[in-house]
Amino acid sequence: MPKVVSNSSPLIHLSKIGLLDILEELFDDIIIPEAVYDECVVEGGDRKDARNIEQAGWITTKTIEKENLHLKRAFLKDVDVGESEAIVLALQESADLILLDEYDARELARNHDLKITGVIGILLEAKSLGKLENAKNHLENLKESGFWIDDELYEKVSDQLDKME
C-alpha cells in the first residue's frame, strides 16, 4: 500500500459526511503531523468528526524531525502550520501521496514533486474502485458540510460521477 500523509481538511470533511473510513479502505493507514492532529482533534473538541478522527487507529501521528524544522518555517510564509507540517512530513517520509485541498498548499507540494489528491479525488477514486455508492449524494453532502467547491468543478465532478453509475 502507498505511504500517505494527510492535511486536516480531507480528514475533517470526510469525517463530517461519514466517509472517514473510506481512507482506510483505499490506503490502509494515514500519517499526519502533530499540527494536523491538533487542528483535527484538539481544536475539534467534542465534535463527532473530531472524535472519529481521534479514534481511527489507522491514523498515525508523526513528529517533524529537527533537521526539517527550517523547511517547516520556510513554508509558513505560503501556507498554514498544518499544511506546512503535512508537506514537510510527506517529504521526510518519502510519501507516495499527500492529501491536500487548499490551492496554495497544493501548489507548494507540486513544487516539491509530491503526488497530490484531495477530498474530490478520493470520492472519484473510491467510486471508480466500487467502494462508494451514492457518490453524488456524498458530493452534495460535502458542499452542505462547509466544503468549498467551485461551481464549475462541482458540475464537472458531478458529470464524471454520472458516467461511473
Per the structure, the count of domains in the chain is 1
Q: What is the pLDDT of residue 118?
A: 96
Looking at the domain assignment, is residue 146 inside a domain? no
- pLDDT beyond 90 at 68: yes
What is the predicted pLDDT for the residue at 164?
84
According to the model, what pLDDT value does residue 134 have? 87
What is the mean pLDDT of the segment spanning 58-62?
Answer: 97
Look at residue 112 and tell me if it is in a domain. Answer: yes
How large is the average pLDDT for residues 74-90?
A: 97
Q: Does residue 145 fall inside a structural domain? A: no
Question: Is 142 inside a domain boundary?
Answer: no
Quote the pLDDT of residue 11: 97
In the predicted model, what is the mean pLDDT of the chain?
Answer: 94
Residue 1 has pLDDT above 90, yes or no: no
Compute CA 97 distance to the chain's CA centroid, rounded to the nearest angstrom: 10
Residue 14 lies in a domain: yes
Looking at residue 19, its pLDDT comes to 96
Higher pLDDT, 111 or 162: 111
Residue 64 predicted with pLDDT over 80: yes
In a domain, 36, yes or no: yes
User: Could you tell me which of 11, 25, 162, 141 has the C-alpha nearest to residue 83?
Assistant: 11
Range of the domain at 21: 4-119
**Confidence class of residue 80 from pLDDT cuts 50, 70 and 90?**
very high
Using alpha carbons only, what angle is made at residue 21 by residues 157 and 127, rounded to the nearest 5 degrees? 30
What CATH number should be reported for the domain holding residue 107?
Answer: 3.40.50.1010
What's the whole-model pTM score?
Answer: 0.94
**Position 52 in a domain:** yes
Q: Is residue 43 part of a domain?
A: yes
Question: What pLDDT is stored for residue 165 in this prediction?
Answer: 75
Q: Which residue has the cell 512530513?
A: 89
Q: Are 61 and 34 in contact (CB under 8 A)?
A: yes
